Amino acid sequence: MSDTNRVQSGPSEQANLPDGPQTDIDEPKSRSSWPRFILAKAGGAAISMILVVVVGFFAFRILPGDPVRMLAQDRRTTPEQLAALRAEHGLDAPLFQQFILYVKGLFTGDLGSSLVLKQDVTQLIAERFWPTILLTGTASLIAIVIGLAIGQRAAWRRGTAFDNANMGIALTLWSVPTFWLGLILIMVFGGMLGWFPTGGMTTPGSRLTGIDHAFDVAHHLVLPALAMGAVSYAHYLLVMRASLLEELPKDYLLTARAKGLREDLVRKRHAVPNALLPTITVIFMTVGGLIGGAVTVETVFSWPGLGYLTFQALSSSDFPLLQGTFVVFSGVVILMNFLADIAYRIIDPRLRTS
């Protein structure tokens, strides 16, 4: 009798086994999906980059203005001289042939020579790249720290004077054009109060070195970083607040409170980590957009970065320089979007089995 009961109870006991073995099966499955996921995202990024190269090359060719005539505008030139200038810069070849030479140059790191500045485009970009990184990195760091900190507190204290005041400030800054905010900062803090320089990266004519040079650069960095970071700060605040508000009614927060956890621990340990998931994507995309949108801020403040270099190239229809900066800006945005997809998948376990 006991043997019969033992036999009859076997299937039911097996049916009631915990799901532990299933988890062990899912773990290798999620690991095996990583290469396929990365390849898919890398393939999409590669296709986007190819489109950037193609569209960027032909789009700049339809811009108004003849770069060769602009090069020769200060002198009397004959048609023969103009033809010689075109041949010198490779602009006399058929458009498709120019494109093939341009693509070959991309694979070898040769972006051509600037028509106006008479320098190698790769060298010009390398010289201006780090000032742009310094500006956008500083602005992003300040905006992320302040925006996320205030955003979570505003959501946790929703409906209070603190929340309403910060929402009003964030919505105002989010709707303000960056260049306009930069001009206001120059007028107030650079002109009326005279607290900060109104342009450039260093004091003209100064030969400062070491710590003095660092302080001089930091002094010039304040206003452009503030103009660039103010809009991003507002974006981070709004996204963090909205994301945390979605988490507040969830059952796991009620369970945490029922266990006797203090409100600040419920917020820091449970609510904020889950609310950060959509914010991670926004951070990567916004940082890439900041670098790509540095043209206006760097132009307003005459900051010697890639943005100001792009403005100079646009003003003179410098095709090789425009193509080079366009590829760099677009490449950074595509890279940031790629990293955002990977970071989101790492942080959110639910996406690892998809």
Least confident of 20-24, 142-146, 221-225, 238-242: 20-24
pLDDT value of position 66 = 62
pLDDT value of position 52 = 87
pLDDT value of position 285 = 73
Residue 99 has pLDDT above 50, yes or no: yes
CATH class of 123-351: mainly alpha
Residue 25 has pLDDT above 70, yes or no: no
pLDDT value of position 47 = 92
Average pLDDT, the chain: 78
Phi–psi pair at 154, nearest 5 degrees? -65, -40
Q: SS3 for 18?
A: coil
Instruction: State the pLDDT confidence band at 176, using cuts at 50, 70 and 90.
Output: confident
Q: How many CB atoms lie within 10 A of CB 334?
A: 19
Q: What percent of the chain has pLDDT over 70?
A: 79
- Which pairs from 246-250 meet CB under 8 Å and 24+ separation? 246/275, 247/271, 247/274, 247/275, 248/155, 250/274
Q: Do 335 and 129 meet the contact criterion of CB atoms below 8 Å apart?
A: no
Q: What share of the chain is helix, strand, coil (3-state, %, to 5)?
A: 80, 0, 20
Residue 245 has pLDDT above 80, yes or no: yes
pLDDT value of position 26 = 46
Q: What is the pLDDT of residues 142-167, one digit of tens each?
A: 888 898 889 888 888 888 898 899 88
> What is the mean pLDDT of the segment spanning 265-289?
75
pTM for the predicted model, two decimal places: 0.74
Phi–psi pair at 120, nearest 5 degrees? -65, 130
Check residue 109 and report its DSSP letter: T
Q: What percent of the chain has pLDDT over 90?
A: 3
Residue 85 CA to residue 68 CA, distance in Å, equals 7
Which two three-digit tokens encode residue 187? Answer: 């007028």
pLDDT value of position 277 = 75
- The single residue listed with the structure tokens 């609510």 is 271
> What is the mean pLDDT of the segment spanning 114-137?
86
